[in-house]
Amino acid sequence: MTVELISVGTEILLGNIVNTNAAYLAEKIAILGLSCYHQSTVGDNEERLEDAIRLALSRSDIVILSGGLGPTKDDLTKEVTAKVFGRELYEDAHTKERIQSYFDQTGLKKEITPNNWKQALVPEGAIVVDNHNGTAPGLILEGEGKTAILLPGPPNEIKPMFERDIAPYLNRLQPEGIYSTMVKVCSIGESKAETMVADLMEEQTNPTLAPYAKTGEVHFRVTAKAADEETAGKLMEPMLQELKKRFGNYIFTMDENVTMEESIVDLLKEKQMTVTTAESCTGGLLSGRILNVPGASAVYKEGYITYSNEAKEKLLGVSHETLETYGAVSYETAREMAAGAARSAGADVALAVTGIAGPDGGTKEKPVGLVYIGCFVKGKVRAEEFHFTGNRSKNRDYAVIKALTLLREELLEK
C-alpha cells in the first residue's frame, strides 16, 4: 500500500518555515510498513493544489495532506479535496460545538469571528477526526479505492492527532498489522553501534531491525508484522533480548516516548538524589532540557549560568588561581565548577559545562568546539574533554547531550 505526502502552504515554499511535518509523517509511515515514493509541497493556490491532489491519487492509494485547514480564505485544502472527490461541504454540528468549546476554555470567546466557523464545514461522507489541541479537525475521505487524509499544519496538532487516530486507522487497512519497539542507546557512536548488530541486520526477516542516528544517540527500531500485537510481541522478544545482551546499560530506554533527560530524572528519583547545573557556553540549555521533564522539580535544586570568570568565582567558588593558570575553558575549571555548584546548591549531583561554542573566541591551543564537562556525584568529580566541529548551535547541543550522557554513566556506576 502506497502513501503520498502533500504539504500545503506558501510559507513552506518561500522558506519562511521549516517543513518538519513531512519528515515526521514520512518516518511514521515507514514505521507502519507503508511505502512512500513521492512527496510534494504546494502553495495556497486552488488550481495547483487540485492538480497535485489528482496526480497523487492517480499513483498512490492514500494521500496525506498537511496544512491549509485554517479559517482564512487562503486555506483551501478541504475545499479543493472535496471538489476532487465530488463532495459538497456541510456544517458539522459536532465540530462547531468543539470549536466553541475550545474558545470558551482558552478564554478567547470574544475573539470568535465568522470565518472561524469555516472550520466546522466538512465534506459529505468524511470521517471527522477531533482535534484535541486546536480548532481544525482532521478529515478522512474515502472513495473508489482511494483515500485522502487531511491534517492540520501546526506540529503540536498534527503529531498527537496522527498518533491517536491516524496511525491506528492506517494500521487497520493492512492485512497484517505492523508493531514496533524502539531501543535507545547512548554512549556509543553510530558506526560502532551498527557494527555490533550487523549480523542481526543481515539475517533479519520478521522482525526487522533498523538503526536511526540521533544527536548523541542511536535508536534501533525492532518491527514485526503480525495479525495482532501479542503475536508481534512474541516475534520481537528474542531480538529485544539479544539487543539487551549486547548493549546492556548503554540502553537508556525501550520506550519510544521517553527522552534521555526523562530517563535521567527517573534515575535520580530512583536513587533519591538531587541535581544542579553550572553552565557557561550552554547558557541554560542544559538546565532547560532537564526542567522540560514533568516532575523534574522533585530532583532539580537550582542552576547557575556563570558566563564570566567573576561569576564562576563568586557563585561557584572556582579559585582565581585556577582561572589564571588554566583558563575558564579547562579540565580544572570544569571540575571546580561541578564541585562548587553541588556545594552551593546543597545537591547530591552537579553538571558543569565550559567551552568555546564559536564562531569566535577560539585559539590554536583552544579551538572553537573545545568543551569541558564536569560531573559531581556524591563527592566524586569526573571531567571530560570534547571537541565538536559544528556551528555554535550544534556545539551547544552536543555539549548538552554529552553532559547528560556523562551524568547517566556516573549515576549508574554510583
What is the CATH code for 177-253? 3.30.70.2860
Q: Which tens digit of pLDDT belongs to each residue from 311-347? A: 999 999 999 999 999 999 999 999 999 999 999 999 9
Return residue ranges of the chain for CATH 3.30.70.2860: 177-253
Per-residue model confidence (pLDDT) at position 178: 81
Could you tell me whether strands 275-279 and 300-305 are parallel, antiparallel, or unpaired per DSSP bridges?
parallel
Per-residue model confidence (pLDDT) at position 110: 57
Q: Which tens digit of pLDDT belongs to each residue from 243-265? A: 999 999 999 999 988 999 999 99
Return residue ranges of the chain for CATH 3.90.950.20: 260-413
Q: Which fold has domain 260-413?
A: Maf protein (3.90.950)
Q: Which residues contact 99 (CB under 8 A, 6 or more apart)?
A: 116, 117, 119, 120, 135
Residue 126 has pLDDT above 80, yes or no: yes
Bridge-partner residues for 8, per DSSP? 42
H or E stretch covering 249: none
Cell reading at 320: 582565581
Per-residue model confidence (pLDDT) at position 171: 86
Q: Which tens digit of pLDDT belongs to each residue from 60-108? A: 999 999 999 999 999 999 999 999 999 999 999 999 999 888 888 876 5
- Per CATH, the architecture of 3-172 is what? 3-Layer(aba) Sandwich (3.40)
Per-residue model confidence (pLDDT) at position 108: 56
Distances in Å between the alpha carbon of 179 and those of 56, 237, 254? 27, 12, 14
